[in-house]
Chains A and B, each alone.
Chain A
Amino acid sequence: MKSQPTAILALEDGTVFEGKSFGFPGEKTGELVFNTSMTGYQEILTDPSYKGQIVIMTYPLIGNYGINKEDIESQTPKVEGFIIKENSSLFSNWRGECSLSEYLVAHRVMGVEGMDTRALTKHIREKGAMKAILSTEDQDRNRLIEKAKASPGLIGRDLVQEVTCDTPYEWKEGLLSEFSLPSPPPSPLERQMRVVVMDFGVKYNILRSLRQLGCEVIVVPASSKTELILSYQPDGILLSNGPGDPEGVPYAIETVKELLDQKPIFGICLGHQLLGLALGGKTFKLKFGHRGANQPVKDLRTGRVMITSQNHGFCVDLESLDPKEVELTQINLNDQTLEGMRHKKLPIFSVQYHPEASPGPHDTQYLFEEFIKMMKHYSHA
């Protein structure tokens, strides 16, 4: 067996773990978080919301089915580092094209195996997500701890600019048909709904989901001005997911504020938080966030529980919103935090989780249909 370089993970609180590198060598800092999904590492790696973060997978056996061309959520991996228990030395899947290790190396992403990821996860659970450094270059633990402490962290930082698109573009591709069970075709639209997606680090599956339902999808950079957005004469605006602290992107909050009474709006994840801030609410940082594919969310109107895919470290404070303006529609059953809201007067709704799944369950994909209904209704009005 080939020898793998030692990799050291140092946390800002002085904790140090050691593992073996199976990705690109180097040194990277980031906020250390964990994800509890048992499948979908490729989607997680490429999810732009992980920009600025080192991700631990709690499921120990990763890389089993390799990497394929299709299951990406953006063109390249976005995580700062990837920590797992055991990397599979062989991948087995009919769509697999290269190994996880090859993929990480090709994209110069650090990957580390052989750590007690459960101990690490428990540490984060107890102490909270924190700044960390991953290195194959420096073996001096104290120096690494100092570097971790000195790293920028997430608070107040604008990570969106690092993952948003440079120029507007149109998205053409739908969902992978072979993975959808046959269902009745969507009711034909009188005319195609046009959606402008504000790209704060959008996951492709949001775009695919809109396309699948027949929308015309235009993606614009996060810094786009209201005028530009409205110039497309959209039927609705989707505020996408994205990385980091919502307060780190004040310009986007401003734009959202301006759009509030203009068009139907659907916010997802960071988009939901920005909406919360634009509506006068507050956001706060969760101790270690929600990252996984098994989070139960209850719809307060129907009483139904949906299993959702989540990836967020910040949260809209449900007390901070004006109950006359905003209705809280959904909550997380694990910790009772806000998962969904709807404006009482305007055609605006948003969710904290990921209805586009990928990875994760499809329980809430119907929200895209609701968005379309809302746009149709509004375009008639």
Chain B
Amino acid sequence: MPKRTDIKKILIIGSGPIVISQACEFDYSGTQACKALKEEGFEVVLVNSNPATIMTDPEMSDRTYIEPITPEVVTKIIERERPDALLPTLGGQTGLNVAVALYESGVLDQYGVQMIGAKYEAIKKGEDRKLFKEAMKRAGIDLPKSGFAYSLSEAIDVAKEIGFPLVIRPSFTLGGTGGGIAYNIKEFEEMAARGLEQSMIGEILIEESVMGWKEYELEVMRDRKDNVVIICSIENLDPMGIHTGDSITVAPAQTLTDKEYQRMRDAAIRAIREIGVETGGSNIQFAVRPEDGRMVIIEMNPRVSRSSALASKATGFPIAKIAAKLAIGFTLDEIPNDITRKTPASFEPTIDYCVVKIPRFTFEKFPGVDPTLTISMKSVGETMAIGRTFKEALQKGLRSLEIKRYGLGGDGRDILPYPEEIGENPHRDKILEKIKKRLSIPNAERIFYIRDAFLWGMKLEEIFELTRIDPWFLKNIEEIVQLEQEIRSHGPKVKDLGLWRGSRSLQQVQLPTPLLRKAKEFGFSDIQLAHLLGLDEISIRKMRMEKGILPTYKLVDTCGAEFEAYTPYYYSTYELENEAKPSSKKKIMILGGGPNRIGQGIEFDYCCVHASFALKELGYETIMVNSNPETVSTDYDTSDKLYFEPLTLEDVLHIVDLEKPDGIIVQFGGQTPLNLAIPLEKMGAKIIGTSPENIDRAEDRKRFQALLKKLGLTQPPNGTATSIEEAKRVAEEIGYPVLVRPSYVLGGRAMEIVYDDPSLEEFVKRAVEASSEHPILIDKFLEDAIEIDVDAVADGNRCILAGIMEHIEEAGIHSGDSACVTPPYSLTDEQIEQLKQNTYALAKELQVVGLMNVQYAIKNDIIYVLEVNPRASRTIPFISKATGIPWAKVAAKVMVGKTLSELGIDREVEIRHIAVKESVFPFNRFYGIDTILGPEMKSTGEVMGIDTDFGVAYAKSQIGAGAQIPTRGRVFLSVMNKDKRPIVFVAKKLVDLGFELVATKGTAKVLMNNGLPVETVFKVGEGRPNIVDRMKNGEIQLVINTPSGKKPKADEVAIRSQAAAHNIPCVTTLSGAEAVVNGIESLLKKGMSVRSIQEFHQEAHQRISL
């Protein structure tokens, strides 16, 4: 069937900001969809609030709305654009939920918009657990025993009927939020109550626990002619009971016989037909009881999912792209397989390697959060590795995680010692006990504890009992451990442990060549081998070179080599034949950012993708290296070549050796590739753009200080320290409060504001552990200063500012967590001019070629330079979308020798609209934790609000970030003493806008003294009903709560965490409060209208004639 001609204009809804369970995989799928639909000649209208996405690049769609993804806003867009169809299945749960809401409210009918891909009924059947259960029963597919409940008493009845342990799953939430496993009635009541609250429809499903069963996923696609194919099977290493997003997963399934696999395939096909997903992809999860093979279906996502992205990268079959083409009427056999070109997409990919996906957690960012892994997802990113064996892929995956681990163990980073180091002493039992605990309670490090368990003599069967991880996986892990021991037997003896790494010379090590080769085949990194043998990494590399043990590169080709593949998508392995064919073209290699984590997210992937696009435009061959399966950068058609590899020195050098690129870009992928800059350069690789030497000048505190002095720029008084005594001395010199942090970190890891000696001591102890190789940095903390981010691009001669962003929150809150506005709203022309001049001077001095980000603070009219980063910053995508100039592309072209004037960039862009960036936090995932912001970054994503009015732009940013900005109702105020005077103006405005005020005693008194009507409310512990009760009752629509001291108070934490749990907007800074009230006023007086960024950009560019 050819494509449909009855529809011409299609609306795609994106997934909004990056949050836990909805990350950049939906940018990947959305980008593919936009490209596919445009390619077929459709007019594409896109809505997505996340500016850091490739899909919101103006070229990707005809009209791009960077607007909040709410039913109200999307209605306005539909009203304005009148699309013929809506494709709801590519924007994750957010897109699906909004599509459902638009259907239910009649908007789609009213404007004659049809849903393509999946109809409303199919979405409901897939998403509504009750309908799903009925459908599966009709299809003859077994399910876990279960019952629904709409109240706590109903829930208890169901629980009693099924028996413990029980799983509680709230219907219609993101990624299983609020779900849990209850072992007793007390736990059950708590979870059921929370689940009922969090479900959009107040419904929970209570299920027979299938904990410990084997978990599988199938990625299924269907077309209009009812052709159904399975794209990929995935087996979770971690059994049922751990969210699949938090599980180590493996493709393809490893421990199913063909009979079992085909039964699962049959069930998946029946399921997609019964649910009625017309066209496109679905993800279906199954559980299999290992004792007897009983198979039950767990759930189905009637849309493209995180696993679809993984399956696409794992097989080379672009699920989202094909799904988009199926939605517009093509059938699978009409679409060619891009990789083989000659064969059609109507087939089932077969792979000849093993893929391992490992989740990336950031519990260290959220002290106090329970790090136990459950059915509610907690990871913030993932990495994928490909190897010819599971052992190889697992170890490659572990070293891709960016957690300073270089494999399963023996890398100098092991948590526990070797047994013989301990000998026969009382610690032995304690250690074994610890291991057992870590095995039985799922946690982020469990995989490493499995190694320890084997090392400490536990038997495979025992480990299976504790973990329920399939013996096949355990056996493979055991084999890695055994080989580690064999290698170690050639290294220094335990008594010489003091002589670790680099202590021996190559001549002292007699490692049989076959053993070295086998170690590489098992995925051991040079760093692991170095530690085990008492050498350093480079010596191992030399040893391998001498023995000719080098990696080979194999193709990901969808077909197990049955057909010739035309797409250069490679992974490394130690085999006979190398398939990579370096060309003789001019080529540039771009190093990506690895797994998403807080502080390093989609923004950097955006920059890498732009670098690739820009250099392709200039005729270069582009080579991407990255290990993150969720990204656009690892789409095989983003760059000319893709190496899906860990971003370690060893792995990158291998590719450099083979490809011999003319230049490497390390400045776009965040800290991960930046850390490789100097080591790579030392090994003779050519880094282009700003030199690693100058990057170091900006990063190294002492050198930086000298640089600022030379330029006559001011920085807050500061010093460095390597000991507690030194730290105290520096703090005394510059005066408290001080901002302390370890050097060389991104995302404000372990950064803190300290007010006195004891807290400084406490910090130093922790920080030294966090980063022993680098000193601690101590800066004077500028209280109440205005913080400013400047992004600029320079070509070695000229420097042009991409934009100046004024933070809404005052200095002291991590720049990645602050809201910011461009153009700045409270700076004078003189200040702006001074910022420009300072930036020019810095760019010149550092001989910046490419991007540079400078953070400034202004206090008492003095401009301080806080930080200079001559590399891509997190704000580059935002400023690019705000100004309509793709700054990362400009910078990439500059880095290969273009001048700014050649590129037509000869002055700063002035925009008349206002763009606000707001950060999005994972607090609703981590029940009960404080939501207060500080110098340690906690946000996972961002949104943009754009309008001609500041208040509206700010309100849009808040709504886009998920806050329900009220336009009437009751506001709760409780502020620190310092804020009590200025809060009066905020409160007065709220009253003028028609809000009622409630406040705790102290704040209430100040407001009353100023003649404002205010109701006093109890703090927690003062009496009932207290403020938390009032919040739970839905009587509070906005919380303004600024922290009252150095340490958060328990009752304030309760207020803020309740606000997060009930999705009540909670403002924790005075400046934030002012901005919110400003936004509310604009919403009330002007209302909200929508406009595409193409329109905004056109206006801006008409003025600067670009």
Contact = CB atoms under 8 A, between A and B. Distances in A.
Contact of B266 (A43, A71, A181): A181
A223 interface: no
B259 interface: yes
Interface in B581-621: none
Contacts of B349: 294
Interface stretch (B432-440, B557-565, B783-791, B1002-1010): B557-565
B389 A39 contact: no
B373 interface: no
A333 B352 contact: no
Nearest to B292: A94
B333 A305 contact: yes
Given A85-B388, A117-B352, A71 B257 contact: yes
Interface stretch (A58-66, A194-202, A235-243, A244-252): A58-66
Given A36-B560, A38-B350, A121-B560, A360 B577 contact: no
Given A94-B292, A119-B577, A125-B562, A59 B351 contact: yes
Nearest to B348: A294
Contact of A61 (B346, B354, B560): B354
A22 B263 CA distance: 30
A25 interface: no
Contacts of A42: 257-258
B561 A360 contact: no
Contacts of B354: 60-61
A333 B333 contact: yes
Say which size band chain B's interface belongs to: 35 or more
A343 interface: no
Contacts of A85: 388-389
Given A181-B266, A358-B258, A119 B575 contact: yes
Question: Which of A1, A296, A358 has the most C-beta atoms of chain B within 10 angstroms of its own C-beta?
Answer: A296
Contacts of A64: 254-255, 472
Question: Which of B257, B266, B331, B576 has the most C-beta atoms of chain A within 10 angstroms of its own C-beta?
Answer: B257
Contacts of B267: 181
Nearest to A332: B343
B798 interface: no
A117 B352 CA distance: 9
B1029 interface: no
A59 B560 contact: yes
A295 interface: yes
Contact of B561 (A122, A298, A307): A122
Contacts of B560: 34, 36, 58-59, 118, 121, 292
A183 B140 contact: yes
B278 to A, nearest CB: 16
Contacts of B637: none
Contact of B270 (A86, A181, A295, A360): A181
A38 B346 CA distance: 18
Interface in A277-305: 292-296, 298, 303-305
B561 A179 contact: no
Contacts of B259: 70-71, 176, 179, 358
A303 B475 CA distance: 46
A88 interface: yes
Contact of B350 (A36, A119, A182, A357): A36
A94 B353 CA distance: 25
B994 interface: no
Given A36-B350, A39-B257, A181-B270, A95 B293 contact: yes
B227 A293 contact: no
A227 B262 CA distance: 40
Interface string A23-50: 0000000000010111110110000000
B347 A178 contact: no
Interface string A360-377: 111000000000000000
B255 A59 contact: no
Given A64-B254, A92-B470, A333 B261 contact: no
A77 interface: no
Interface string A177-188: 011111100000
Contacts of B562: 34, 36, 58, 121, 125, 292
Contacts of A293: 258, 348, 350
Contact of A333 (B292, B347, B579): B347
A86 B227 CA distance: 34
A1 B486 CA distance: 10
B290 interface: yes
Contacts of A95: 257, 293
B332 interface: yes
B256 interface: yes
Contacts of B266: 180-181, 362
A183 B559 CA distance: 32
Contacts of B697: none
Contacts of A304: 225-227
A178 B576 CA distance: 42
Question: Which of B331, B460, B472 has the most C-beta atoms of chain A within 10 angstroms of its own C-beta?
Answer: B472
B657 interface: no
B389 A90 contact: no
A361 B390 contact: no
B389 A86 contact: yes
Given A71-B257, A85-B389, A305-B332, A58 B352 contact: yes
A333 B257 contact: no
Nearest to A88: B472
Contact of A71 (B140, B258, B390, B576): B258
B260 interface: yes
B350 A37 contact: yes
Contacts of B333: 296, 298, 305, 333
B265 interface: yes
Interface in B359-393: 388-390
Contact of A121 (B140, B258, B290, B561): B561
B291 interface: yes
B263 A179 contact: yes
Interface in A89-121: 89-95, 115-119, 121
B412 interface: no
Contacts of B346: 296, 298, 305, 333
Interface string A313-346: 0000000000000000000011000000000000
A272 to B, nearest CB: 21
Contacts of B390: 61
Given A58-B560, A58-B561, A90 B472 contact: yes
Nearest to B486: A1
B255 A92 contact: yes
Nearest to A63: B472
A60 B258 contact: no
A295 B354 CA distance: 21
Contact of B258 (A43, A125, A180, A294): A43
Contacts of B803: none
A302 B576 CA distance: 45
A359 interface: yes
Interface in B255-294: 255-263, 265-267, 270, 290-293
A68 interface: yes
Contacts of A89: 475, 479
Contacts of B472: 64-65, 88, 90-92
Nearest to B575: A116
Interface string B530-563: 0000000000000000000000001000011111
Contacts of A68: 257
6 contacts: A94-B291, A119-B577, A121-B561, A125-B563, A305-B227, A305-B332
Given A36-B352, A294-B349, A307-B348, 19 more contacts: A58-B561, A59-B351, A64-B254, A85-B388, A92-B470, A116-B576, A118-B560, A119-B576, A125-B562, A181-B267, A294-B348, A294-B350, A294-B559, A298-B333, A305-B333, A305-B346, A307-B229, A334-B342, A359-B262
Q: Nearest 9 CB-CB pairs, A to B?
A: A40-B258, A119-B577, A58-B560, A116-B576, A359-B258, A182-B140, A90-B475, A92-B472, A294-B348
